[in-house]
Amino acid sequence: MDPLDPSEQIVPMKGFDTRLRQRLTAMEVSSAEIARRAGLSERSFSHYLNGSREPNLDSLVRIARALGCSPNDLLDFDDGSSPNSILIDRLVGAAGQLSVQELEIVAIQTEALAAKPKQLTAKRVARR
C-alpha cells in the first residue's frame, strides 16, 4: 500500500458529525438518549457529534439503529432518496417507541393521508 496514492488513502467520514446532529435535531432527542440507545458512553458520542473522532463500524451501525436509519444515511452517500427522508426517519424513529396498538393507529392514519390525494384526483376525473 502506497500512502501517497490518493486512491489508497483512508477517506474520513465526511459530514458524519453534521448528519448526526441533523438527525438528533430532526428526531428531537438528546444526544444522551441516543448514546444510551446505542450502548455508547455519552463522552464517546459527544466526540462523534463534534467531529473530533469517528466511530468504528460496530458503533456506526449501533448509532444508525438508535436513530432509526441506515449507516449510509449518516455517511456521505447519495442514494437518491427523497427530500422527505429526514421526516420519514423521524416517523420511523418515533414508531419504534410505540405499542402495537399505537402503531396500528398510526398506520391507518398514514394510509388515509397517503390515499387522500389519489381519492381527490379520482373524484375530479370522475366529475369531468
Domain ranges of the chain: 6-79
Rounded to whole angstroms, the Cα distance separating 97 from 93 reads: 7
Q: What is the pLDDT of residues 52-67, one digit of tens each?
A: 999 999 999 999 999 9
* Cβ pair 43, 52 in contact under 8 A: no
Q: What is the pLDDT of residues 61-93, one digit of tens each?
A: 999 999 988 888 888 665 545 566 777 777 877
pLDDT of residue 20: 92
Q: Which of the four pLDDT bands, split at 50, 70 and 90, describes residue 7?
A: very low
DSSP state of 3: T
- Please provide residue 82's backbone torsions phi and psi, each rounded to the nearest 5 degrees: -70, 160
- Please provide residue 31's backbone torsions phi and psi, each rounded to the nearest 5 degrees: -65, -35
Q: What is the model's pTM?
A: 0.55
Which of left, alpha, beta for 51 (phi over 0: left; psi -120 to 50: alpha)? left
The fold for domain 6-79 equals: 434 Repressor (Amino-terminal Domain) (1.10.260)
pLDDT of residue 124: 53
pLDDT of residue 96: 79
